[in-house]
A and B are shown apart, each in its own frame.
Chain A
Amino acid sequence: MSGHAFDRLSVLLVDDNHFMRGVLHTLLQALGVHRIYDATDGSAALKRLRNTPVDLVICDCETRPMDGLALTRTLRADTDPTRAMLPVILLSGHDDEARAAAARDAGVNEFLIKPLTPRTLYLRLLAAIETPRPFVRTASYYGPSRRRRARSPADGMPRDTTRYAGKAPVTLRQLSDLIDRLVS
């Protein structure tokens, strides 16, 4: 049992899929979040944030016209420090390394690869809120440290990548394909 205080958390959901927004809304409410706002894309989210400050943004990667990466980059460049440091959880249907790297370089705090489940959402909320990465600034980047935390709630998540010493990470999908090729 823990002392989470999600009831004091305000969240902006950004997704152009009405049904997915409803699912996220339901899950967040069940986890105790009561102040939930909606936007259909990055531009609508930025407009909403001007009048409604929130504690966290959960954004789909592929919203149109402004996607989740562009929204995150715009937030990180904001002159208002609260908006610039606003935690962002990015939802993505793709598990490839390139997208994960793009999300990291845009300044995303947490990357949630679909399928969305109550557990993965809960873990990402905890990671973003309770063990936030320190913000760093370089010549070309401002955002959460891109180095993995020493320990976070999300560390208990099942991994979808397998890393062998000295080799690039192999996704389970690549592994399955490799096995198929070997069998045939």
Chain B
Amino acid sequence: MSQPQVAGSGRTPPTRFAPGDGLDRRLLARAEAALADLTPQFLAMVRGELQRMQQALETARTRPESAAAARQAIFAAAHDLRGIGSTFGYPLVSRFAQSLCHYLQGRTVDLAVVQAHFEALSAVIENRVKGGGGPLAHRIGRALEALVTGHTGG
């Protein structure tokens, strides 16, 4: 196996920046405040994704010929929610969306399981359940994940 050679005799990527000595708390606080200011847009975005999910669910139920596209649309919405929920203090959104993504990657899809995830996500947003949500939310999460595990086999 060849030993790593430092390219260009120890070159590091060009940088024009002087070294700092850690985090600037003022900058960090400013970034956290800026993120908090985006919460209304976050909630509107989640509602938009849930609306798309609901429409796709309806399509999957009523038009079997479009079921594959509908499933893809639901996955795309869940994928987007999974990536952003925790950033805004809604880890349950990320958790339930992750469970739904996992489920949709399985071979078969029972729309009742998708509907259960949709309802759970809607409840979190409409009730503004931030953080872990307590034992009940945890039980719901476990139940959804058990449904998914039961269908996908792990």
Binding site for B on A (CB under 8 A): 1-6, 8-9, 17, 19-20, 22-23, 26-27, 29-32, 55, 62, 82, 85-87, 93, 109, 114-119, 121-123, 126, 129-139, 141-142, 144-145, 153
Kindly state whether residue B99 has any CB partner on chain A within 8 Å: no
Within 8 A of A (CB), among B1-56: 2-8, 10-28, 30-35, 37-38, 41-42, 45
B16→A8 contact, CB < 8 A: yes
Nearest 10 CB-CB pairings of A with B? A115-B86, A2-B20, A118-B31, A30-B34, A30-B31, A136-B4, A85-B13, A137-B7, A135-B7, A4-B20
B83 at interface, CB cutoff 8 A:
yes
Q: How far is the CA of A97 from the CA of B22 in the complex (A)?
A: 28
Q: Which residues of B contact A2 (CB under 8 A)?
A: 20-24
Query: Are B83 and A93 in contact, with the CB atoms below 8 A?
Result: yes
Q: How far is the CA of A123 from the CA of B28 in the complex (A)?
A: 10
A135–B6 alpha-carbon span in the complex (Å): 6
B19: chain A residues at CB < 8 Å are 3, 130-131
Give B27 Cβ to nearest chain A Cβ, in Å: 5
| Cβ-defined contact, A9 with B17, below 8 A | yes
Q: A2-B24, A4-B24, A137-B7 are in contact. Are A116 and B87 (CB under 8 A)?
A: yes
Knowing A4-B24, A85-B14, A115-B94 are in contact, say whether A135-B32 is a contact too (CB < 8 A): no
Pairwise interchain contact B6-A20, C-beta atoms closer than 8 A: no
Binding site for A on B (CB under 8 A): 2-8, 10-28, 30-35, 37-38, 41-42, 45, 79-80, 82-87, 91, 94
A–B Cβ pairs within 8 angstroms, 12 of them: A2-B24, A3-B21, A20-B83, A23-B35, A26-B34, A30-B30, A82-B14, A85-B13, A119-B23, A122-B23, A130-B17, A144-B13
Chain A residues near B85 (CB-CB < 8 A): 115
When A2-B24, A31-B27, A129-B17 are in contact, do A136 and B6 touch as well, CB less than 8 Å?
A: yes
A27 to B33, CA, bound (A): 9
Shortest CB distance B87–A (Å): 5
Q: How far is the CB of B75 from chain A (nearest CB, A)?
A: 12
A23-B84, A116-B87 known; A132-B13 Cβ under 8 A: yes
Given A27-B35, A30-B33, A4:B27 Cβ within 8 A = yes
Q: Is the CB of A130 within 8 A of B41?
A: no
